[in-house]
Structure 1
Amino acid sequence: MNADLEEQEDELLALQSIFGSDEFLRDESKSAGECRVSVELPVGFNVLLKHDQTIRQYDVSFLPPLLLTFELPEDYPSSSPPSFTLTCSWLTQPQLTSLRDKLTDLYQATGGAVVLFSWIQFLREDALKHLDIHTLLELPTDESETPQTSRGKPDAERSDADEEESAPGSEPPDDQYHQVSSNPPLPPGGDAHGSDVTASETSESTDDSQGDCSSAADKSELPDSERQEEVRGIPPNKDQSYPGLSLTQSQMLLSRILIHDAEQRQKLFAGTPFDCAVCFSTWLGAECVQLHECGHIFCRACLGEFCKAQITEGNVRGVTCPQVGCPATPTPAQVKSLVGEELFYRYDRLLLQSTLDRMPDIAYCPRLSCGSAVILEKSSPAAMCSVCSFAFCVDCKKTYHGTSKCYEAPKVPEQTSEDPLAVPPQTEEGMIALLEDYTTASKWRRRLLENRYGRQTLLHTIEGRVSDRWKAVHTKPCPHCFFPIQKDGGCNHMICRWCHRMFNWE
C-alpha cells in the first residue's frame, strides 16, 4: 500500500469517527462515500418565497443539508483532488458552481494534503458567506426554475444522448434539484478532461449524463440510497406530492424546508435539559412538554397529573398552563398524549359542552332521552330539536304552547263564607313555619293541611315565595350573565360558575 492509499484510509477512518452515520456514509468497496453537511445559520435567518404577488417569509434555524458525494482517485492527495458531486435543493446552479470552484481552490491551496475535512468545515461554516447570503434566503420562483445542462466536454466528444438531452424544446422533468460535478485536472501529459456542471432530476437520470470520467461516484452503489433522496429534501416523483393539494415546485421546496426545520428543532429540544416549573427537577426535553402559546416547559409527569386532575373533576376550562397567571392552553394533541384516550374523550366532550353552554343562541332539548344541542332563532320563542323533532318553548322548556303564556302560579282564593279553605300566613315567618310543618308532617297531618289551605297553595305559592325570598337574601346575580350566585366564604373575588367571568362581591 503506497503513501496515498494510506492517507486516504486514515482520512476516511477519521471522518467516520468524527461524524455520525446520519452525516457520513462510506462506500467500503472503494475509496468513496458521501457527507451530508448542515449549514450553520445565524440567529434570525429567514426563508422568503415570492409567488403570485404573495410574499411568504419564515424564520428557520435549520436548512436541509448539502450532499457531498466523493470518490478518491489513486493519486489523491498527492497529485489529484477528489472527484465529487455537490447536490442541494435550495441553492441555484450558479451558486453550486461557485461552491465547487471554491472547493477546488481549497485543495490547490493545501499543496497535496488531505482536504475532505476542510471541505466539510467550509461548507458548514462559510458557504453562506461565500455566496453573500447573510440573514435572508430567497428561494427561486417557478419561472426561474428552468436550469439547462451545461457540459464542459468538447463538441467532438459530445454523444448523441447529450445532443438529445440539450436539444431545443426539450422540457426538464418536474421535480428538479441542482447538482454540480467536478473532476480534477490530470497531471501534465495526461488526457485533458473538462469539468461538468449538471442540473439533473433524480437518481434515475440517464447514464450518459454521468458516463464520462468526470462523473462522481455512482450513487446507486452507495448504501441507503432511498434515505439519501429523503435527506436531500427532493421528491423523487410526482406520486410523493401532497394529495389533494396543487403545489408548485417552489412551494414544495418551501414546505420541505419548513418540515425539516421543525424536525431538527424537535430533535434539538429532545436533547436539551430543562427545569420543570412544577417539581423544580431537571429533565431532558424528551421527557418534557412545551406549550406553544406561552413557551413554558414542564415535565411530562407533572403536566399530565395536572391535566388528569382537572378533567376528572370536570373543570375542562382549568386545563391551562400551570404557571401562575398564564392563560395559555395545551393543544388537543398534547392533552391526548398526556392523559390517554379515555380521559381525552371526556375532555373533548366536556369542552364541547362547556363551549355550547356559553353560547347564547344554543339550548338543549329538554327530553331526558335526547338532550341534543339546538340552535335558537332570535325571532321565535319556539325551538325544534333536529334529532328527535321535539318542539318546545325556549322560556319554560315545556312542549310548545303557542301564544299562550308559560306556567303561572295559581292565585290564592279569597276566604268566603262558603269556602272552607283558610288563608295562609301572610308573614315570612308564618309561611316558613307552615312549610316546615307540611314537609315534616305525617301523612294524616299533610292531608289535614291540604284540606285546610289547599294542595296547590302549599306546593306552589308558599314554597315559591319562600324560595324567592331566600335567593333574594342569600344570593346576588352575576353582573355579566345574571345567574344567582351564593357566597359561602373566602374573599370577595368571585368567579361565576356559569359564564366563568370574574367580579367582586359587594
Structure 2
Amino acid sequence: MGNTDEQRDEMLVLQSIYDSTVLTVEESEGFHCGTFLAQPTLGTPFTVVAPKLNSSGTYGNGKQEIDLEHLPPICLKFELPKSYPSDSPPRFCLSCIWLTMQQLGILCKALDRLWNQDPYSVVLYRWMDFLQNEALPELRIERRHSLGPLLLYLSKKKLYSGRHTGRPRPRLQQCQQYPGDRLYDDRAFKEQLDPSLLVCSLTDYDSKKKQEVFQQQWLHCQVCLNEKLGSQFLVFFGCNHYFCKDCMRSFFRIQIESGSASFLRCPQEGCASQASPPQVKELVGEVLCNKYEAMLLNTYLDTLADLTYCPRLHCQCPVVLDPDLTMAECPSCHFVFCIFCKMVYHGVEPCRLKPDERREIRDRYVAATGAEKHEMERRYGKRTLQLLVVESLSQDWMNENSKKCPHCSVSIEKQDGCNKMTCWRCGTHFCWLCVTTLKSISNPYQHFNDPSSPCFNKLFHGVEGLEEIDDVHDMGEFL
C-alpha cells in the first residue's frame, strides 16, 4: 500500500473516531492537513494558581486560586508530506494559551519520541491520544498549575512570536527573543494574548464547557418531574438550580401578567436568585419581557425618595421632585400637583384629606418622635396638624357619646332620661337604642310597648342611677 492510500485510510479512521468539532481535515495543494483540539484530562479538583489582577490591569503580589473542570485545548496542526509514513513523520506545530514555550517544547519532543518508537507507520492517532490523556503527566502537572511564569513572559512582552505563522514546522530554531540564548522548539507556537485576559479566558472556557456538558445530560425537573435533556432546562445563575423551560415559561408568564413579578426568582424554597433579562426574553418573548423590564424599572424608581409619578391615570410619567417645593409638574402632560395629596396644587391651603386619612395622620403625629413630627409639620403645617388632632379627638368623642338624628343627621347627646328622644333641630321623635324614627306622633312610646319591637320594655334600658322599675307602670305615668 502506498503513502497516499495509507494517508487516506488514516484520515478516514480518525474522522470516524473524533467529532468534527475536535478534528478538521482538508486537502491543500496535494497535502493532507488538519487541526486537532486535544482536550486534556484533568484531575478532580484541578486548581489554577495565578497572581491577582490589580485595578490598573497588571498583576500584583497576591495570589488567586481558581478551581476548573475544563481547560482550553492543546491545538495540534499537522500536515502530511508525500513521504509519510514510509520515510518521514508529519509536520506539525503545537499551541496552547495556558502553557509556556518550554512546556510546548517538551510536548513536541514527546511526539517525536512516539514517532521514533515505531517509525514508518501511521502515528497521528497515537499523538492525539497522547495529547488528551498523557500531556499533563508528561509536564508533571497533576492537580495544580501555576500561570506565574507564563504571565511574567506575557506581561514583559518577551514571549516568542518571531515570524511564526502557526503553520506546521519540522525543525528547531534558535530563539533570540529570550535571554540566555536558550533553544526553543520552532514547532511550539504561542499566540499573542493580553496577560490581563488570560485568567478570564480560562474561566470563560470552563463555564462554556460546563454548559455544553450540562445540555447533553438527562435531568429531572423538580416541578413537573419529567426527564428531559439539559438543553431544555433553565439554570439560574448564582445558585445553579435548574428547572425545565416549559415549567419556567408558565411560571414567568403568570407572574408577569398578574403584575406581581417585582423579580422573577428561583422557585427553589429559600432561594433568592433571579432570572436574567435574556433568560426571561427567551422564555416569554419580547412583549412580556418588555413588560417585566418596565416593572423592574418601576420597582427601582419607587425606592428613590426624590421621584414620584404623575397622579393622572392616563399618564403615570415619572416626575423628579424639588426638595424645596411642595409642588411638582409632570414633564409629559404638564399637570401641576401637590406632592403630598397628589391633587391639583393648592398653594398654602392645607391638603384635603379623607376621614380615614385624617385619623391615620393624627395617630402618626401623636406617636411620632421629634424628628418625625418636624417632618410632618413641614409637610402638612404645624397649625393644621394641631387642629387636626383637636378635631379628630372631638370627632372620636362625638362618635362615642352622641348619635345622629335619623331625619336631619344632627348630632345629639343623651345626658339622662328615657330612651325616647326628640331632636332639638327638627323635632323628630326617635329611639336612642335603635335610632329608629317613632312614627306615631300621638303615642311615641308605642315603640317600647309593642311586643314585636326590638326595644320592647326597654324605655329605661341602660339608664344609669335608676333602680329596676316596672316599665309598664312608668309608661302609665307618661301617658
Q: TM-score range by the shorter chain?
A: 0.5 to 0.7
Does residue 1:119 correspond to 2:64, yes or no? no
Measured in 2, the distance between the counterparts of 1:258 and 1:40 equals 17
Tell me, yes or no, if the aligned pair for 2:31 and 2:81 is still in contact at 8 Å: no
Measured in 2, the distance between the counterparts of 1:432 and 1:64 equals 89
Residue from 379, 382, 394 that aligns with 2:326: 382
Does residue 1:86 correspond to 2:94, yes or no? yes
Measured in 1, the distance between the counterparts of 2:99 and 2:326 equals 65
2:33 maps to 32
1:373 maps to 318
After TM superposition, the structure 1 = structure 2 runs for residues 163-174 of structure 1, keeping only pairs within 5 Å, are none
2:157 maps to 145
Inter-CA distance 199–311: structure 2 relative to 1 (3 Å threshold): farther
Tell me, yes or no, if the aligned pair for 1:36 and 1:66 is still in contact at 8 Å: yes
For each residue in 1:332-369, what CA deviation from the matched residue of structure 2 results, as whole angstroms up to 9, or x when unmatched? 11111111111112212223223333555542233445
Measured in 1, the distance between the counterparts of 2:314 and 2:343 equals 15
Inter-CA distance 234–84: structure 2 relative to 1 (3 Å threshold): closer
1:15 maps to 14
1:136 maps to 145
Measured in 1, the distance between the counterparts of 2:32 and 2:199 equals 35
Measure how far apart 1:299 and its partner are. Answer: 0.8
Tell me, yes or no, if the aligned pair for 2:79 and 2:168 is still in contact at 8 Å: no
Inter-CA distance 371–8: structure 2 relative to 1 (3 Å threshold): closer
Inter-CA distance 435–309: structure 2 relative to 1 (3 Å threshold): farther
Which is worse superposed, 269-278 or 299-308?
A: 269-278
For residue 140 of structure 1, what is the amino acid of its counterpart? L
Inter-CA distance 31–371: structure 2 relative to 1 (3 Å threshold): closer
Measured in 2, the distance between the counterparts of 1:435 and 1:372 equals 45
Measure how far apart 1:56 and its partner are. Answer: 6.3
Measure how far apart 1:382 and its partner are. Answer: 1.5
2:205 maps to 260
Does residue 1:195 correspond to 2:172, yes or no? yes
Measure how far apart 1:127 and its partner are. Answer: 1.6
Tell me, yes or no, if the aligned pair for 1:362 and 1:373 is still in contact at 8 Å: yes
Tell me, yes or no, if the aligned pair for 1:291 and 1:330 is still in contact at 8 Å: yes
Measure how far apart 1:300 and its partner are. Answer: 0.7
1:103 maps to 111
Measured in 2, the distance between the counterparts of 1:27 and 1:353 equals 57
After TM superposition, the structure 1 = structure 2 runs for residues 214-233 of structure 1, keeping only pairs within 5 Å, are none
Measured in 2, the distance between the counterparts of 1:196 and 1:70 equals 18
Inter-CA distance 75–296: structure 2 relative to 1 (3 Å threshold): same
Measure how far apart 1:302 and its partner are. Answer: 0.6
1:72 maps to 80
**Structure 2: which 5+ runs fail to align?**
53-57, 178-184, 356-383, 388-397, 410-424, 427-479
Measured in 2, the distance between the counterparts of 1:296 and 1:432 equals 67
Measure how far apart 1:405 and its partner are. Answer: 3.1
1:278 maps to 223
1:291 maps to 236
Measure how far apart 1:274 and its partner are. Answer: 1.2
Inter-CA distance 299–70: structure 2 relative to 1 (3 Å threshold): same
Measure how far apart 1:323 and its partner are. Answer: 2.2
Name the SS for the 2:274 alignment partner.
coil
Q: Pick 1 or 2: higher relative contact order, CA cutoff 8 A, min separation 6.
A: 1
- Identity of matched residues, %: 31
Tell me, yes or no, if the aligned pair for 1:279 and 1:302 is still in contact at 8 Å: yes
For each residue in 1:168-223, what CA deviation from the matched residue of structure 2 results, as whole angstroms up to 9, or x when unmatched? xxxx69xxx9969553xxxxxxxxxx5347799xxxxxxxxxxxxx998xxxxxxx
Measure how far apart 1:295 and its partner are. Answer: 1.3
Inter-CA distance 429–76: structure 2 relative to 1 (3 Å threshold): farther
Measured in 2, the distance between the counterparts of 1:346 and 1:111 equals 68
Tell me, yes or no, if the aligned pair for 1:361 and 1:376 is still in contact at 8 Å: yes
How high is the TM-score relative to the length of structure 1? 0.59
For residue 146 of structure 1, what is the amino acid of its counterpart? K
Measured in 1, the distance between the counterparts of 2:303 and 2:406 equals 39
For residue 406 of structure 1, what is the amino acid of its counterpart? C
Measured in 2, the distance between the counterparts of 1:386 and 1:56 equals 52
Name the SS for the 1:140 alignment partner.
helix
1:326 maps to 271
The alignment of Structure 1 onto Structure 2 pairs a total of residues equal to 351
Name the SS for the 2:331 alignment partner.
coil
Measured in 1, the distance between the counterparts of 2:401 and 2:313 equals 36
For each residue in 1:142-174, what CA deviation from the matched residue of structure 2 results, as whole angstroms up to 9, or x when unmatched? 33432347xxxxxxxxxxxxxxxxxxxxxx69x
Tell me, yes or no, if the aligned pair for 1:83 and 1:182 is still in contact at 8 Å: yes
Measure how far apart 1:318 and its partner are. Answer: 6.3
Tell me, yes or no, if the aligned pair for 1:32 and 1:72 is still in contact at 8 Å: yes
Measured in 1, the distance between the counterparts of 2:317 and 2:101 equals 62
For residue 128 of structure 2, what is the amino acid of its counterpart? I
Measured in 2, the distance between the counterparts of 1:434 and 1:92 equals 100
Measure how far apart 1:303 and its partner are. Answer: 0.5
Inter-CA distance 148–335: structure 2 relative to 1 (3 Å threshold): closer
Inter-CA distance 103–321: structure 2 relative to 1 (3 Å threshold): same
How high is the TM-score relative to the length of structure 2? 0.62
Measure how far apart 1:59 and its partner are. Answer: 4.0
**Structure 1: which 5+ runs fail to align?**
150-171, 184-193, 201-213, 217-231, 236-247, 412-424, 437-450, 453-506
Inter-CA distance 83–399: structure 2 relative to 1 (3 Å threshold): same
Tell me, yes or no, if the aligned pair for 1:233 and 1:257 is still in contact at 8 Å: no
Tell me, yes or no, if the aligned pair for 2:307 and 2:318 is still in contact at 8 Å: yes
For residue 288 of structure 1, what is the amino acid of its counterpart? F
After TM superposition, the structure 1 = structure 2 runs for residues 400-439 of structure 1, keeping only pairs within 5 Å, are 400-407=345-352, 430=403
Measured in 1, the distance between the counterparts of 2:97 and 2:175 equals 13
Does residue 1:300 correspond to 2:245, yes or no? yes
Name the SS for the 2:151 alignment partner.
coil
Inter-CA distance 293–339: structure 2 relative to 1 (3 Å threshold): same
Inter-CA distance 19–434: structure 2 relative to 1 (3 Å threshold): farther
For residue 286 of structure 2, what is the amino acid of its counterpart? E
Tell me, yes or no, if the aligned pair for 2:262 and 2:295 is still in contact at 8 Å: no
Inter-CA distance 215–376: structure 2 relative to 1 (3 Å threshold): closer
Measured in 1, the distance between the counterparts of 2:116 and 2:98 equals 28
Give me the CA root mean square deviation.
4.1
Tell me, yes or no, if the aligned pair for 1:67 and 1:87 is still in contact at 8 Å: yes
After TM superposition, the structure 1 = structure 2 runs for residues 327-346 of structure 1, keeping only pairs within 5 Å, are 327-346=272-291
Inter-CA distance 279–369: structure 2 relative to 1 (3 Å threshold): closer
After TM superposition, the structure 1 = structure 2 runs for residues 54-73 of structure 1, keeping only pairs within 5 Å, are 58-73=66-81
